Structure 1
Amino acid sequence: MVPSPDIPKVQKAVVVDKFGDDFKVKVVDDYPVPEPGQGEVLVRLTSSGVCHSDLAVAKNYLGQNATTKILGHEGSGYIVKHGEGVDAERHPIGEKVGVPLISGACHDCENCEHDEVYCKNNKGFYGSYIDGTWQQYIIVRANMIVRVPEGADTTIVGPILCGGVTVYKALKRAGLTAGSWVVITGAGGGLGSLAIQYATAMGLRPIAIDTGADKEKLVKKLGAEVFVDFAKDNIIEKINEVTGGGAHGAIMIAPVVQVYSMSVAYVRNHGTIVCVGLPKAGQKMEFEPAAFIFKALKLVGTLVGNRQDCREALDFMARGKVTPAVEKHKMEDIQEILNRMQAGDLPGRAVIDLE
């Protein structure tokens, strides 16, 4: 049996000092370490990703008014303490685990029977309504834990459990078969770079939309067959020409309504457009119903993958098929990371070291 490590009373954490367009974050070293309750475990986080939705929460971009000052939802680490009622053999001290976006589900409603992500009794998202993963210790419900595959690099687990599983689920929702063309917008960013890899591993033919030589180099290295520079190319013409009539599907990662609206012109008959990126609250897509009627298009949405999707997404990583392109940083770098993300100057994914 692995002995429980010494657990301090306080910890380092990154907190939001000011929400809004002029958001500010800072590092504190006296944030209380939480105590696990019934059915919960305490996890010592070793790293956490920084997601575009963290930026959205800091800016209150989506109008959700966060109820926590600790953001982040891409954490990984190991169990250090059990709450009452936790099966210690099933969840041993020292076990490497990942933290999912959804903090808890009832496992008893109609939604949970199909996909607990949409549970009507959802306990809240980490980093929006519950203290997130930009801290050294976090509470996780034992029945929501995601186990990390043996030998996996925990540094890259966090990005897989949010960005990775999100785009993996989106590709599954697209219902494409091997050899199909799939457009990925925002392809050079954190989610997009993962979507390129998952699409390639699933036998699809990715078309990457982004801008700049650095991002073109990145996405082609990751498996993109075609790069479309939205600042230089005629997006619709190039995609239709390369594919001989349009892509079979499109994964809309860039959170821009104009990008969504354009997709109907480069997706072929019977194609599927999957909504992933969240534009600013109140913005609306503009589509003519005729485009969907005469082309038999499908428009579907997806939030994030469930625990089974997480297992599958991690399996791709464990087999070396998907590796997040990460930049490693200290906790003190998060303000700079978010500023770069806002400027579109962050290829791949940023991960902070919490040790």
Structure 2
Amino acid sequence: MAFEGIPQEMLAVQVVEFNKPYQIHKVPTPTSLKPHEVLLKTVVASLCHTDSMVTAGVFPTKLPCTASHEGTGIVVAVGSQVTNFKKGDRVMSGLPRNPCGKCFNCQGPNDWHQYCEHIEGTIGIFVDGAFSEYHVVDSRVSCHIPDEVSFASAAPLACAGCTIYRAIIVAEVPEGGWLGIVGAGGGLGHLGIQFAQARGLNVVAVDARDEGLELCKKAGAKHIFDARESKAKVVEQVRKLTDGLGVHASVNVSEHETSADMACAITRMHGTMVQTAQPDRVSVAFHELIFRDIRIKGTLIAGQEYSQQMLNDAAKHGVKVETNIFYGLEEVPKMVELAHSGKMKGKAVCVVDKAEFDKEKAQH
């Protein structure tokens, strides 16, 4: 039975066949919710690199599947056990949906729920995502959007923001210390520069594209290096900045085959390199691990606690999300084209509900 006032059909952008373009068509609107689920009227959804991995069949996704795991919207219905959201709330979509609540990971810290082996799925990857007029999320991982943060800014934060924010925490750089970000001029990187500096860290930004280097500067990075120069040159420059030692820790958000090695090389001995990019193989010279004792940590997204903290920090410190805005789900193919061009600065964002988007803009 459909929810009152909600149409029986909605427009959605779906992966129907791997390695084929998205199909944009009408599908049934969700008509029921599990106890912890929330139905959102989608206002903005954005494109992430992971979306191309889904399209390429990297994951065992059951098709058809609605794309995008970076969504924001307004609550229109809640499940029977939802206590933290009500109709009308502005929400940033959580990615995991319906973890089992009983396994080793679910019994651990809040951030471990994302690793649940019995989870129903991650929106936009294993279950339907946010490239639709309505989408379902889990209330236990979704977050309230502060008044100072727009729907368009919050959507990319749902994955890119959460991922880089947790990576900075995992890096454990002392206040006033040095953090290196390799791939700093991309969607995750330009957010990482701002979040790290807001936490009182000194940032070394490394990128290899003119557009990326420009975005590093726009994001406020004071120390920017071009990875197209030799690794030895970049390492030399970073060590000059850091008493000859290198950064305390680095975060690698680039999939380039040399980027993990670069991140380790700019890190001081006994330091940490946090890997967030997802290439098929992470390649690092053995001497970084053995003779320099660099520790490598992996990190995924973030739980509700860190995600809400991230949104609050974005509001408090005026974190700017570089967005390329497209209007209407029909424009998603153009978003994909821009993302694949290598010329994109920041994130490609789709305004799904223009009326709500315009209303928000008028209020601010």
State the TM-score, normalized to the length of structure 1: 0.89
Alpha-carbon distance change, 295 to 232 in structure 1, aligned in 2, over 3 angstroms? closer
What is the CA deviation profile of residues 170-212 of structure 1, one whole-angstrom value per residue up to 9, with x for unaligned ones? Answer: 0100000122222112211111111111111111111222234
| Secondary structure of 2:307's aligned partner | helix
The offset of 1:151, in angstroms, is 4.6
CA distance in 2, matches of 1:354, 1:201: 31
Q: Give the distance between the partners of 2:211 and 2:262, measured in 1 at CA.
A: 24
- What residue in structure 1 maps to residue 18 of structure 2? 19
Q: Give the C-alpha shift of residue 167 in structure 1.
A: 0.3
Q: Which moved more, 1:89-98 or 1:168-177?
A: 89-98
- The whole-number CA distance in structure 1 between the counterparts of 2:84 and 2:60 is 37
Contact kept, 8 Å, 2:275 with 2:296, in 1: the verdict is yes
Aligned residue pairs, count = 342
For 2:95, the equivalent position in structure 1 comes to 101
What residue number does 1:266 align with?
Answer: 266
* 1:119 counterpart = 2:116: yes
For residues 140 and 116 of structure 1, the distance between their equivalents in structure 2, rounded to whole angstroms, comes to 15
Residues 206, 225 of structure 2: 8 Å contact kept = yes
Gaps of 5+ in 2: 354-364
Matches for 1:131-146 after TM superposition, within 5 Å: 131-146=128-143
Give the CA deviation at 1:110.
Answer: 2.6
In the TM superposition, what are the counterparts of 1:1-355 in structure 2 within 5 Å? Answer: 6-20=5-19, 23-28=20-25, 30-39=26-35, 40-60=37-57, 63-68=58-63, 69-83=65-79, 85-87=80-82, 90-112=84-106, 113-114=108-109, 115-232=112-229, 234-243=233-242, 244-280=244-280, 283-288=281-286, 290-330=287-327, 331-355=329-353
Distance 1:90 1:339 in 2: 38
Native 8 Å contact 1:206 1:223 kept in 2: no
Q: Using the alignment, how far apart are the partners of 1:215 and 1:38 within structure 2?
A: 42
- Deviation, 1:306, is 0.7
Distance verdict in 2 for CA 1:286–1:56, change over 3 Å: same
- CA 1:178 to 1:284, structure 2 compared with 1: closer, same or farther past 3 Å? closer
Q: List per-residue Cα deviations over 1:13-35 (Å, max 9, x = no partner).
A: 11235422xx412422x211012
Residues 197 and 321 in structure 1, CA contact (< 8 A), matched pair in contact too: no
Provide the secondary structure at the position in 2 that maps to 1:27.
strand
Give the conservation status (yes or no) of the 8 Å contact 1:67–1:129. yes
Task: Verify the 8 A CA contact 1:149 1:318 in the aligned structure 2.
Answer: yes
Alpha carbons of structure 1 residues 284 and 272: separation in structure 2 relative to 1, 3 Å = closer
Mean CA deviation greater in 189-198 or 92-101 = 92-101
CA distance in 1, matches of 2:208, 2:259: 14
Structure 2: which amino acid aligns with 1:352? C
The gaps in structure 1 that reach 5 residues or longer are none
Distance 2:129 2:7 in 1: 18
Name which of structure 1's ranges 341-350 and 226-235 shifts more when overlaid on structure 2.
226-235
Identity %: 28
Q: TM-score, normalized by length of structure 2?
A: 0.87
Deviations 1:91-127 (A, max 9, x none): 3211111211111222333312212122232221111
**Cα separation, 2, equivalents of 1:260 and 1:214:** 21
Flag the 1:196–1:151 CA change in 2: closer, same or farther, 3 A: closer
Corresponding residue for residue 360 of structure 2: none
Report the Cα distance in structure 1 between the residues aligned to 2:183 and 2:283, rounded to whole angstroms: 17
Question: SS state of the match for residue 22, structure 2?
Answer: strand
- RMSD of the TM alignment (CA)? 2.1
SS at the partner of 1:143? coil
